[in-house]
A and B are shown apart, each in its own frame.
Chain A
Amino acid sequence: DAGVIQSPRHEVTEMGQEVTLRCKPISGHNSLFWYRQTMMRGLELLIYFNNNVPIDDSGMPEDRFSAKMPNASFSTLKIQPSEPRDSAVYFCASSRGTDSPLHFGNGTRLTVT
């Protein structure tokens, strides 16, 4: 079991640039979650997918953020344009579905200067 794989591990970009974060969930898991972690706000759910369909995107901060899941083994979170306040660690997690625990990737640390 390779676990949830995220890339890149670190991303440093300038304000205004587009940022794309990638996630490969655990094979066989049909739910995928994007979280953001900051000191101020802790772990915040941004969006989650069930069977590749977005179910709840109420946590997406604003229109600059978008997420896609084109197939069961890949998801992206895009920020365009990025701003310094987007600096955080972004985690992807997957689970087998309802009532199943989440398994997290190691995160992408994003710094926007």
Chain B
Amino acid sequence: GQQLNQSPQSMFIQEGEDVSMNCTSSSIFNTWLWYKQDPGEGPVLLIALYKAGELTSNGRLTAQFGITRKDSFLNISASIPSDVGIYFCAGQRSGRGSTLGRLYFGRGTQLTVWP
């Protein structure tokens, strides 16, 4: 099946530091999404990107849709303890057939923030 390669697998940082994680794919996607999952909860959408080259911010979060449509990155600036969690990238295609609306997920980046 489709694979998204997400890196790094885990990060241990100090409060106040900036964080960067990325996701690459062998195939093109029309939408890139970033989710965060807290323990015991479902993934929550952070940022959605719909256009190649698009750079979008949501507070301290910034994400970009790669120009090749095969990659995306997420940056978190000035990290705080509540940023702890697992961050997932996801790619989505549009079109006919069974892949319509289907999301392909990366394996996640586990972020730990030390106070």
* Complex interface: chain B residues within 8 A of A103 (CB): 45
A-B contacts counted at CB < 8 A amount to: 58
Please determine whether A50 and B40 come into contact, CB atoms closer than 8 angstroms.
Answer: no
Range class of the A interface residue count = 20 to 34
* Complex interface: chain B residues within 8 A of A105 (CB): 42
A31 within 8 A of B: yes
A32 to B43, alpha carbons, bound, how many Å?
Answer: 15
Closest chain-A Cβ to B108's Cβ sits at a distance in Å of: 7
B76 within 8 A of A: no
Given the known inter-chain contacts A98-B94, A99-B30, A101-B33, please indicate yes or no for A45 contacting B102, CB distance below 8 A: yes
Closest chain-A Cβ to B46's Cβ sits at a distance in Å of: 10
Name B's interface SS: loop
- Count chain B residues whose beta carbon lies closer than 8 angstroms to a beta carbon of A: 26
A93 to B35, alpha carbons, bound, how many Å?
Answer: 13
Please determine whether B100 and A50 come into contact, CB atoms closer than 8 angstroms.
Answer: yes
**Which B residues fall within an 8 A CB radius of A?**
30-31, 33, 35, 40-45, 48, 50, 88, 90, 92, 94, 98-103, 105-108
25 contacts between A and B (CB under 8 A): A33-B103, A42-B105, A42-B107, A43-B88, A45-B103, A48-B101, A48-B102, A50-B100, A55-B101, A56-B98, A98-B94, A99-B30, A99-B31, A99-B50, A99-B94, A99-B101, A101-B31, A101-B48, A104-B35, A104-B42, A104-B43, A105-B42, A106-B40, A106-B41, A107-B41
